[in-house]
Amino acid sequence: MRLFLAAGVFTLAGAFSGAAVAEENPFGYHNLPELDGQTRMIVAHTVNMEWSSHTATLKRFVELVGIYTNNEIRGEIFPGGQLGGEREMAKQTRQGQIHVSLPATNNLATMAPSLNVFILPYIATSTEEVNYLQDNLTPFLVPRVIEEAGVRIVGWENSGWRAFFYKSDTSIQKPEDLAKFKMRVPPNPLMIASYEAWGANPIPLGWTELYNALQQGVVEGGDNPVTDVIGMKFYEVINRMTRFHYTILTHPIIVSESWYQSLPEKHQKAILRAGEEATAYVRWWQPMDEQRWWAEAEKQGVIVDDIADETDWVEKARAIWGDYYHTIGPDGEAVANRALAILDDYAKQ
């Protein structure tokens, strides 16, 4: 009898297992219940992949806001730049037309220069340092960013360390190796200056223009996390990626301050809690996701290596700091020193 029952259970399980595996969560980020009097939360970002650190962060955030407001706030995500580029969406977030967006730190810094402290080249050289710096410097920066840009940082996404991508028979190992390439950089003064310090001739270019620029030879490479490079199929026009640690690509989860202030206190608390927990989630999720993209890079024939000694890169890049403290603000050097003190505390742990 026991064997018969076990076999029966096995048969039933087998009969339903296919449907169970294929069935979609009926209450995920995109199909939360619609209720009378519900507050709509417009969420936007530029990535058009179904799963990336961007999408993982914002899907989690939307679900958590639904959970902690008992569905009194219902998020609707607009991916793939449907509502504009990152800078444009950040401006719409300030105006309250978009309620939540996820711009790159270097892009939001055009509106909130205080965030350039995170763009100082080689300010941190490990993911753990970056996380610690975000956790301990953000409370100081939040009111400054509200004043500068009209948005509130409630959490962080991490896309991974920026790595060189390019087409060449030889690897980039020394700063002077960059001289022969036309390298794209984001239009951020600190990032441009970093390349110039290495003896390169950087070409500032927006992300959405990059693939066509690579195809047409306007640029021959640049730096971005592997998820972006391989996810956007740059392997069709480049053959190498070289890892180093001059800066990590992060995106603050920003909320329209005018919209936030219009919410009842219980909803404000829910949004802050959701931001904190979405940050913790993506810090767990992103390293695992990154590994599969490095594997995919090699599968697509991309030669992957590392800069063996970054000493010269560090010295040349950090030498520009003094000339660019002003990009952080009138007290830019003091803000940078605050960040360094936080990192010193981390080193002592």
Main-chain dihedrals φ then ψ at residue 114, nearest 5 degrees? -55, -30
Domain that holds residue 43: 29-348
* Helix axes 332-348 and 127-149, enclosed angle (nearest 10): 150
Amino acid identity at 325: Y
CB-based contact 241:185 (threshold 8 Å) = no
Average pLDDT over residues 290-314: 98
Question: How many angstroms separate the Cα of 159 from the Cα of each of 56, 224, 273?
Answer: 11, 9, 21
What does the mean pLDDT of the chain come to? 92
Sequence-ordered list of residues with C-beta below 8 angstroms from that of 114, at least 6 positions apart, any chain: 141, 144, 145, 148, 328, 329, 335
The whole-model pTM stands at: 0.90
Question: How many angstroms separate the Cα of 181 from the Cα of each of 129, 167, 270?
Answer: 31, 9, 48
Average pLDDT over residues 250-279: 98
Average pLDDT over residues 176-185: 96
Share of the chain above pLDDT 90, in %: 86
Region at 150 (left for phi over 0; alpha for psi -120 to 50; beta for the rest): left
Q: Environment class of residue 246 by beta-carbon count within 10 Å: exposed (0-12), middle (13-18) or buried (19+)?
A: buried
- Tens-place pLDDT, residues 190-233: 999 999 999 998 999 988 789 899 999 999 999 999 999 999 89
Question: How many angstroms separate the Cα of 37 from the Cα of each of 34, 161, 269, 270?
Answer: 9, 43, 19, 17
Beta-bridge mates of residue 77 = 43
The pair of structure tokens assigned to 346 is: 């981390």
Question: How many angstroms separate the Cα of 241 from the Cα of each of 224, 285, 308?
Answer: 10, 22, 14
Count of helix runs (H) and strand runs (E) in the chain:
13, 9
Average pLDDT over residues 55-82: 96
At residue 27, the pLDDT reads 74
Question: What CATH number does residue 182 fall under?
Answer: 3.40.190.170
Residue 206 counted as domain residue:
yes
- Tens-place pLDDT, residues 1-52: 444 344 444 444 444 444 555 677 777 777 788 889 999 999 999 988 888 9
- Tens-place pLDDT, residues 102-123: 999 999 999 999 999 999 999 9
CB-based contact 213:205 (threshold 8 Å) = yes
Instruction: Domain count for the chain, please give it.
Output: 1
Residue 20 counted as domain residue:
no
Q: Which residue has the tokens 């719409």?
A: 92
Answer whether residue 322 shows pLDDT above 80.
yes
Residue 288 counted as domain residue:
yes
At residue 103, the pLDDT reads 97
Residue 16 counted as domain residue:
no
The pair of structure tokens assigned to 184 is: 């794209």
Average pLDDT over residues 230-255: 96
At residue 20, the pLDDT reads 52
Main-chain dihedrals φ then ψ at residue 8, nearest 5 degrees? -65, -45
Residue 15 counted as domain residue:
no
Tell me whether strands 184-185 and 203-204 are parallel, antiparallel or unpaired: parallel
Amino acid identity at 97: Q
The pair of structure tokens assigned to 151 is: 């948005």
Residue 104 counted as domain residue:
yes
Beta strands in the chain (DSSP E): 39-44, 73-78, 100-101, 151-166, 184-185, 203-204, 221-224, 240-256, 303-306
At residue 16, the pLDDT reads 44
Least confident of 4-8, 148-152, 310-314: 4-8
At residue 116, the pLDDT reads 97
Answer whether residue 319 shows pLDDT above 50.
yes
Residue 80 counted as domain residue:
yes
Residue 52 counted as domain residue:
yes
